[in-house]
Amino acid sequence: MKMHRINFSLNGEKVALDVEPSDVLLDVLRGRLGIKSPKVGCDRGDCGTCTVLLNGKTIRSCLALAVEADGTEIVTLEGAGSRKWTQKLQKKFHEKNSFQCGFCAPGVILSATELLEKNAKPTTHDIKEAIAGNLCRCTGYEPIVAAIEETAKGK
């Protein structure tokens, strides 16, 4: 199979590598680049554990081909700490004990980061919509929503 050279920014660093046309972005991030926050969950885009920011918008990296990343900016939880909201969210999630197993945490935090970057004063409905693509089997979502609400309010 013919390899394709792709160039993109990953967590602020320039990356250039050869990929096959069928390589999935999640597999390249985890297997070839050592990025572990996007998780392999459902492999169908349903669970949100593979969420990354692509040009500032959340995507399911299990559904994206690596060749689609050419010329883009990808941010994973490993590189999101410099974003305005991410560290505040992480601190509040910790304070509120919002996660138990933590498997969904990177995707939820990136989804909440995207929301707050677009809308610093979201309603509860806005928050629930923003994280709707992230499945959590441990919490019942109440502490997750509360942490995002408190972060937005600056509490």
The CATH number assigned to the domain with range 83-153 reads: 1.10.150.120
Domain residue limits, the chain: 4-79, 83-153
Quick: pLDDT tens for 32-51: 999 999 999 999 999 999 99
CATH topology of domain 4-79: Ubiquitin-like (UB roll) (3.10.20)
pLDDT band at 140 (very low <50, low <70, confident <90, very high): confident
Write the pLDDT tens digit of every residue in 5-24. Answer: 999 999 999 999 999 999 99
What is the three-state SS of the chain? CCCEEEEEEECCEEEEEEECCCCEHHHHHHHHCCCCCCCCCCCCCCCCCCEEEECCEEEECCCCEHHHHCCCEEECHHHHHHCCCHHHHHHHHHHCCCCCCCCCHHHHHHHHHHHHHHCCCCCHHHHHHHCCCCCCCCCCCHHHHHHHHHHHHCC
**Residue 155 scores a pLDDT above 80:** no
Whether 52 shows a pLDDT value over 90: the answer reads yes
